[in-house]
Each structure stands twice: as structure tokens, then as C-alpha cells.
Amino acid sequence: MPEAAPSQPTLGCVLGFDFGEKRIGVAIGEHLLGIAHPLITIDEEANDKRFSTIAELIAEWQPVALVVGLPSYLNGDEHTLTQLCRKFARRLEGRFNLPVKLVDERLSSAEASQALRESGITGRKQKPMLDQVAAQHILQSYFDGLAS
């Protein structure tokens, strides 16, 4: 399992990912501020296109670390998507030579949907932004964990 290096970066940009088989939500944040923001949703299923887009984001934002949400059942047991997320994290680490941290993402999509509802975005209007807001929750969880 990819983990961040023992000496955690304290400065620099971080990209967070909410991995899905159809879409990948991406969020961005800065260690110094510890605040995550939704960035984009990669709406591609082909791996070459996904990693091409991720390469462009890494070139543009120059992150010092990557965070990937790790889904599991509410009781903590792993399922099929858990293994796919681990594989995605390993690929990120191997391709981009950046530290990758896995973060528990249970309920991140539900939290994202609730946050969008509270902002007045409901139903089908949520679809284009739900994954990136879920990535924002995952990345914020990472930052909050560093602060405690």
C-alpha cells in the first residue's frame, strides 16, 4: 500500500482523488492552508486518457503529494473497488514518482451530495460535480488528519 514518505511535506500543493470506474473526481489543496477545493472530474473510462489528464494536472499544479480515497464497507471490510483504488494509487506512485497517501473515504460521496444539496444543487445537477466534491472531502480529511 502506497504511503506518504516518513517526513510529511509541510508546504506545497496536494492533489486528491476520488477514484471510480467511470469517473475520477480531483481536488486540490495546499499544505500551508490545509483547505481542499474541488478541481475537476475526469469523465473518462480509458486508462490512457485518465492518466494523460492526470499528467497534465501534475505538470500544471506541481503537487508534492497525492491523496487517494480508499473505499470500504461501513464495517471496514474491503470490496472490489477497494482493490481497484489500491491499484490506481500504485500506478500514480509509479508513473509520477510522488508520495501517495490512502485515506478512508467511507461516506465521502454522501457527504459531498449533502454539501451540494445545502448549496441548492440537487438531483441530476449534482452529477458533473459530485466526484470532485467527494475528492474535496477526501483531501480535507487528509489535511485534518495532519493537523491533529
pTM for the whole structure: 0.83
Whether 111 shows a pLDDT value over 80: the answer reads no
**Amino acid identity, position 73:** Y
Pairing assessment for the beta strands 100-104 and 65-70 based on DSSP bridges: parallel
**76: three-class secondary structure by DSSP:** coil
Q: What pLDDT is attached to residue 80?
A: 83
Which CATH architecture describes the domain 13-147?
2-Layer Sandwich (3.30)
Domain coordinates of the chain in residue numbers? 13-147
Report the distance separating Cα 112 and Cα 69, nearest Å.
13
What average pLDDT does this structure show over 5-15? 71
Residue 30 contacts residue 38 (beta carbons within 8 Å): no
The tens digit of pLDDT for each residue in 117-147 reads: 666 666 666 566 778 888 998 999 999 888 7
Report the distance separating Cα 113 and Cα 123, nearest Å.
9
Q: What pLDDT is attached to residue 4?
A: 42
What average pLDDT does this structure show over 27-34? 94
The tens digit of pLDDT for each residue in 32-80 reads: 899 999 999 999 889 999 999 999 999 999 999 999 999 877 676 777 8
